[in-house]
Chains A and B, each alone.
Chain A
Amino acid sequence: DSGVTQTPKHLITATGQRVTLRCSPRSGDLSVYWYQQSLDQGLQFLIQYYNGEERAKGNILERFSAQQFPDLHSELNLSSLELGDSALYFCASSPQGTSLGYGYTFGSGTRLTVV
C-alpha cells in the first residue's frame, strides 16, 4: 500500500456520460498530480494541485476538470466521455510543491473503460 488511495479501481461507462475519480494523497502530502496512461503508452500529465490551488496544467481536455479540497483529497471529473478517454488514470502525491528531489508516490490507478 503506497498510501495514495484512488477510487474506484475500475469504472465502465457509456459515451457521453460523466464520471468522477477520487484520490486521497499520502498523509502529509500537499501536492496532488493527475496522469493519464492510455493502452501501452507513457504517462501524460494532466494537472497538479498544491494545497488546494491549481499549480500546473498539462494537455488536459476542456471536458476534464479537477479540484483539491480542504482535506487535500482531489477529484478528477471527466465529462462527455468518448471512446478515446478509455485509459488508466493515476493520481500521485508528494510532500511539498517545490521539493525537487522528491519522486511522486502513485496510487494504484482507476481503470476507465468507455463503451
Chain B
Amino acid sequence: AQTVTQSQPEMSVQEAETVTLSCTYDTSESNYYLFWYKQPPSRQMILVIRQEAYKQQNATENRFSVNFQKAAKSFSLKISDSQLGDTAMYFCAFKNRDDKIIFGKGTRLHILP
C-alpha cells in the first residue's frame, strides 16, 4: 500500500524567509503524480503544485517549487519569500493509476511577522 509521510508536524519561519517542507512516500509504482495542497484557516483545500514522476525537472509555481528525488522517494516543497498568507496546513499527496489521492498527515506552517 502507498504511504505518505510528513515528518514535520509544525514549523515557524519569519516573513520573507525561505522554508522547506519535507515529504517522503512509498510506492512500487513507476508512474504517479505528487501534489502539495494548502489548507488555510478557512479549511479550503487548495492545490499548490503538482509533479509527474516521469518528469525529472522540478515543478515551479511562482514562489513555490519542489525538490523531487524519485530514487529516494522524496518530494519536498520550498516556499521562497514567505508571506503571512502562506500560513496554513500543507499536505503532501500521492496519486497513482488507482485515481485515489493519499494524503500525508500535514505540516502546520506559521509565517511570523
Interface residues of A (CB under 8 A from B): 2, 31, 33, 35, 41-43, 45, 48, 55-56, 58, 88, 90, 92, 94, 97-101, 103-106, 108-109, 111
- Do residues B96 and A100 form an inter-chain contact, with CB atoms below 8 A? yes
Given A33-B101, A48-B100, A108-B43, 16 extra CB contacts under 8 A: A42-B103, A42-B106, A43-B45, A45-B100, A56-B100, A90-B45, A100-B97, A100-B99, A103-B33, A103-B37, A104-B45, A105-B47, A106-B45, A108-B44, A109-B44, A111-B43
> Can you list the 8 inter-chain pairs with the closest CB atoms, starting with the nearest?
A106-B45, A42-B105, A103-B47, A43-B103, A42-B103, A103-B35, A56-B100, A42-B106
Cβ contact within 8 Å between A97 and B103: no
Give the shortest distance, in Å, between A7 (CB) and chain B (any CB): 15
- Least CB distance from B64 to A in Å reads 14
Q: When the two chains form their complex, are residues B91 and A43 in contact, meaning their CB atoms are under 8 A apart?
A: yes
Interface residues of B, Cβ cutoff 8 Å to A: 31-33, 35, 37, 42-47, 50, 52, 91, 93, 95-106
Q: Sample 19 A-B pairs with CB under 8 A, ordered by A number.
A: A33-B101, A42-B104, A43-B103, A45-B100, A48-B99, A56-B99, A88-B43, A99-B99, A100-B32, A100-B96, A100-B99, A101-B33, A103-B33, A103-B47, A104-B101, A105-B47, A106-B45, A108-B44, A109-B43
CA distance A42 to B105 in the complex (A): 4
A98-B103 CB under 8 A given contacts A103-B47, A103-B50, A108-B44:
no
Which of the listed residues A33, A43, A58, A108 has the most CB atoms from chain B within 10 Å of its own CB?
A43
Residues on the B chain within 8 Å of A92, using CB = 45
The residues of B that contact A43 with a CB separation of less than 8 Å are: 45, 91, 103
Assembled-state Cα–Cα distance A66/B45 (Å): 21
Which A residues lie within 8 Å of B50 (CB)?
101, 103
A41's closest neighbor in chain B, by CB? Answer: B105
